[in-house]
Amino acid sequence: MSRVGSVIVCLTRDRPQTLILTLKAVSVDLKKAKLRPRALIILDDSVKARCRLHNGRILERFAKEANCFCLYHGPAEQHETLAVMAARGGVDASTFNFFFRKLGGLKWDLGGVRSYAMVLGNLIGKPSSPIIMIDDDIVILPHARRVSAIDTLEQDVLDNPRLLTGGTLKGSPDESSIETATRMICRFIGSRKHLFSSEMPMPISGGLLTFNSTCSHLYPFPRWYNEDWAWLAQYQARGYSVRVERRVVAKHLSSRKNLSLTTMKREQDGELLFEAVNWAIKNYSRTYVDRALRSLVYWEDVAREEVIYLNHIIELVGAMEILLAEAQLELGQRGTAVRPILWLLKHTKNYVASIKPVAMMRRYSRYLEGVKWWRCFMKAAQRCEMDFDPIARRL
């Protein structure tokens, strides 16, 4: 079968309940879209086999009324894709593993999954076709008029291939564990204080992201936290536009976030890396950005600012501890719940203070070294035409 005109990739991992709501919204939206050859791929990164089975059945039900080809892609399909690309494109397993990992892995690695989604979009989409990524906890809201959000996003990147766009997301799709923990404490204590954000966020999120396939060969998604914002920042540095499509609105389905010191440390590494790239773009001319990111002095400045931000959190937490002690009898069980969160915040702050800026600078440099291999890999992928069958289970 010939390549399709646009590709929608829904990334899911062990959340069939929210995937149902995401796909229902996509189905409603596509009924209003202009007819064109589209494919929707469920890229299943679920760890649990029963979740993968459930997700396949969900897509089967969705496919009966969808206005596009529906494809399921899980670990088995990923293995088959690698085999076909190795045979046709000369891509070996070591190259593949450098940018991705086996779907269903226990370790968090959303950047590797997003990069893999780009490859799938190029394998089955026509040259210069729109690629839309949507996470399994994002629900497109219906527009007052009979206008399709997906159709709008597709047309935007067809008209301007150097545009990366998404919709207005309601909720908190990019909330870090630090922000979650502090918000929980404020709720327990009854405080109305709010934190200043440490990040200068991108206007759009990887949760709902649209771009022209012609730009996907420039950078892979980095394999660290804030992979979507760091990826977008790289494109901004090359003169691409990152813009919200105001006519598209979506809702983030909130879920319970389990706080752990391991997760908070990983997130702080990713936030420091993103902020270094984004601050350079915001504060320096385009020609000076690369020079700044090769400067240890610059990385030391970024790390120092991150510690200042977390010191602000510690001061806030310290004031809450005093309030907690004064109102201990009134708080009861709530006070018991607050103390573990305070412990996490304090130890996270200590970890950030111990980060070596030179280590972060080297990590970013290794990412840039991999970019050269990525561009060769994507050229091979774009030459490697595939039918749907080796890529995914067609429904």
Computed over every residue of the chain, the mean pLDDT equals: 87
CA dist 293 and 276 (Å) reads: 7
pLDDT at residue 329 in the model: 46
pLDDT at residue 185 in the model: 75
Candidates 268, 293, 297; CA nearest to 283 is 293
Q: Kindly state whether residue 393 falls inside one of the protein's structural domains.
A: no
Q: Kindly state whether residue 112 falls inside one of the protein's structural domains.
A: yes
Please give the backbone phi and psi of residue 208, each rounded to the nearest 5 degrees, phi first: -145, 100
* DSSP code for 393: E
pLDDT at residue 24 in the model: 95
- Could you report the per-residue pLDDT of 226-268, keeping only the tens digit for each? 999 999 999 998 999 999 999 999 999 987 788 999 999 999 9
Instruction: Kindly report the CATH number assigned to the domain that includes residue 131.
Output: 3.90.550.10
Contact (CB, 8 A) for 133 and 117: yes
Q: Span 126-131, mean pLDDT?
A: 93
* DSSP code for 163: E
Terminal CA-CA length for the chain: 14
What is the token pair recorded at 152? Answer: 């709008």
Is the per-residue pLDDT at 195 higher than 60?
A: no
6 DSSP β-pair partners: 38
Domains contained in the chain, number = 1
Is the per-residue pLDDT at 122 higher than 50?
A: yes
- Per the listing, tokens 């596509």 go with 30
pLDDT at residue 382 in the model: 77
- Could you report the per-residue pLDDT of 14-36, keeping only the tens digit for each? 999 999 999 999 999 999 999 88
Candidates 128, 156, 124; CA nearest to 388 is 124
Bridge pairing between strands 208-212 and 130-135: antiparallel
Label residue 272 left, alpha or beta by phi (over 0 means left) and psi (-120 to 50 means alpha): alpha
pLDDT at residue 392 in the model: 66
Is the per-residue pLDDT at 315 higher than 60?
A: yes
* DSSP code for 125: B
Q: Kindly state whether residue 119 falls inside one of the protein's structural domains.
A: yes
CA dist 227 and 207 (Å) reads: 11
Overall size of the chain counted in residues? 395
Please give the backbone phi and psi of residue 354, each rounded to the nearest 5 degrees, phi first: -90, -10
Q: Kindly state whether residue 168 falls inside one of the protein's structural domains.
A: yes
Q: Kindly state whether residue 340 falls inside one of the protein's structural domains.
A: yes
Instruction: Among 38-42, 281-285, 391-395, name the most confident range.
Output: 38-42
- Could you report the per-residue pLDDT of 291-312, keeping only the tens digit for each? 999 999 999 999 999 888 888 8
Question: Which amino acid type is present at position 48?
Answer: K
Is the per-residue pLDDT at 100 higher than 60?
A: yes
Q: Is 107 exposed, middle or buried (0-12, 13-18, 19+ CB in 10 A)?
A: exposed
- Give SS3 for 292: helix
Q: Span 106-134, mean pLDDT?
A: 93
Beta-carbon contacts of 183 under 8 Å, excluding residues fewer than 6 positions away, are 175
Percent of the chain past pLDDT 90, that is, above it, reads 56
CA dist 200 and 206 (Å) reads: 16
Is the per-residue pLDDT at 379 higher than 90?
A: no
CA dist 92 and 113 (Å) reads: 18
* Distance, C-alpha 261 to centroid of its chain: 21
What is the token pair recorded at 328? Answer: 């201990």
CA angle 122, 126, 130 (to 5 degrees): 75
CA dist 197 and 365 (Å) reads: 26
249 DSSP β-pair partners: 168
Contact (CB, 8 A) for 379 and 217: yes
pLDDT at residue 213 in the model: 94
Name the strand (E) or helix (H) holding 143.
none
Q: List helix spans (H) across 91-146.
A: 93-99, 110-124
Domain of 88 in residue numbering reads as 6-387
Beta-carbon contacts of 371 under 8 Å, excluding residues fewer than 6 positions away, are 218, 219, 220
Query: pTM score, two decimals?
Result: 0.91
**Orientation angle between helical segments 177-189 and 333-354, nearest 10 degrees:** 150
